[in-house]
Amino acid sequence: MIEAVGLTKRYGAKTAVHNLSFQVRPGAVTGFLGPNGSGKSTTMRMMLGLDRPTSGHVTIGGHAFRSLPNAPRQVGALLDAKAVHGGRSARNHLLCLAQLAGIPAARVDEVLGVVGLQDVAKKRSNGFSLGMGQRLGIAAALLGDPQVLLFDEPVNGLDPEGILWVRNLMKQLASEGRTVFVSSHLMSEMALTADHLIVIGRGQLLSDMSIKDFISANSADFARVRTPADRPEEREKLTASLTKAGGGVMPEPDGALRVTGLPLSRISDLAHASDVRLWELSPHQASLEEAYMRMTQGAVDYRSTTDAKEGLQLPPPGYGQPGFEGYGQPGHAPQPPPEVPQQGWYAPPPPGQNPYAVTPAPAPTATPDRTERKTSEDSR
């Protein structure tokens, strides 16, 4: 198990990680998500003893990484796949690592086979593609057959077959009872791979729960209802009936109705009782990506200047605020979205509390330029 307690890292005036506390349990794949610059790599580096926390601590199996006896046999990590000596062959690179950790050479050939690099094992790694480099990094992480594995963007540069392979590998490692902690920006992939999610924004914990709970806590499920296009009066009759029954009703641009607060069966019964025919009645469940966008909307440092909100619907006034009673109230005209402490495009806020909607995070200054990384104890 990995445990972070009050973990904080400051680089001069810059707070990269602020008071993070969470546990990563064995037997599951835990996804580590957050916008660019939110502190994921910094957190992982502190886990691996590559950066020293300013305050707080992080332990693996109850020990700080630096005091773990024979750490490579207990913890394997892929942080930066390019961190290899390009003049060495894949096999020699792994042999060096194995010798340093007292791991038998036979294990090197074993992991080369596991990651599918056996045919290029004798080739210099500076001729490797991005995907081959990732596979070599994963082989290095697996070398000591460790119980705890950390992967920073493991599918970066992999083709679809490679991505599927990594997904199955992570799941298999977790099913063997290992602790698997993996960061990624690929939400669709995370949704298929991870059981549990830890989400951070601007160095602070935003969420720590199962994927299923995360999606339901950060999405507004609704039903799409469509009545015959040539009978607007049926649409109005149904809107009145659904609203009277306590549902929220909002028209969609294509003529359908977006209904919240009523189960599908109730919508169907109300339509039947009002003598309204339905051409469509379908549930809409948010994807992990939608839920993630809502959760992190106030914690994104870098955004395009082009208008990515095109095509997104404006939420009705009060949406996501305590006391909001649904769509379809009389006189509901689209209003500008509530203030969020960022510029850029807007996605509707989560139904629950968004920490950034209430208390803007202490804003560590964002510097896309990382030239200052050369400072202090950055030992990479």
Q: Which residues bind ligand ATP (CB under 6 A)?
A: 11, 14, 16, 34, 36-42, 366-367, 370, 372-373, 375, 378
Compute the distance between CA of residue 44 and CA of residue 368 in angstroms, rounded to an integer.
Answer: 19
Task: Tell me whether residue 13 or residue 106 sits nearer to ligand ATP (CB atom).
Answer: 13
Q: How far is CA 188 from CA 27, 214, 258, 289, in A?
A: 21, 14, 25, 7
Q: Give the count of alpha carbons within 13 A of 22, CB side only.
A: 25
CA–CA dist 48, 71 (Å, integer): 9
Q: How far is the CB of 34 from ligand ATP (least distance, A)?
A: 5
Distance CA 301, CA 368 (A): 9
Q: Which is nearer to ligand ATP, 58 or 117 (CB)?
A: 58
Q: What distance in Å separates the CA atoms of residue 293 and residue 340, rounded to the nearest whole number?
A: 13
Give the shortest CB-24-to-ligand ATP separation in angstroms. 16
CB of 289 to ligand ATP, least distance (A): 16
* Nearer Cβ to ligand ATP (26/344): 344
CA 85 to chain centre: 31
- Residue 149 CB, nearest distance to ligand ATP (Å)? 18
Residue located via tokens 């649904």: 326
Taking alpha carbons only, the member of 288, 252, 285, 248 closest to residue 267 is 248
In angstroms, give the least distance from the CB of 306 to ligand ATP: 20
What's the DSSP call for residue 89? Answer: B
- Least distance from ligand ATP to the Cβ atom of residue 30, Å: 16
Q: Cβ of residue 283: shortest distance to ligand ATP, in angstroms?
A: 33
Query: Which letter does DSSP use for residue 88 in this model?
Result: S
Q: Cα(first)–Cα(last) distance of the chain, in Å?
A: 24
Nearer to ligand ATP by Cβ, of 31 and 37: the residue is 37
As measured in angstroms, the least distance from the Cβ of 157 to ligand ATP is 14
Closer to ligand ATP by Cβ: residue 119 or 370: 370
Cβ contact 25:1 at 8 Å:
yes
Location of structure tokens 């700080």: 64
Give the nearer residue to ligand ATP in terms of CB position, either 51 or 225.
51
By beta-carbon proximity to ligand ATP, the closer residue of 114 and 186 is 186
Q: With b meaning 16 or more CB within 10 Å and e meaning fewer, what string describes 272-308?
A: eeeebeeeebeeeebebebbbbbbbbbbbbeeeeeee
Q: CB neighbours of 19 closer than 8 A, spacing ≥ 6?
A: 6, 7, 8, 56, 204, 205
Between 14 and 171, CB nearer to ligand ATP: 14
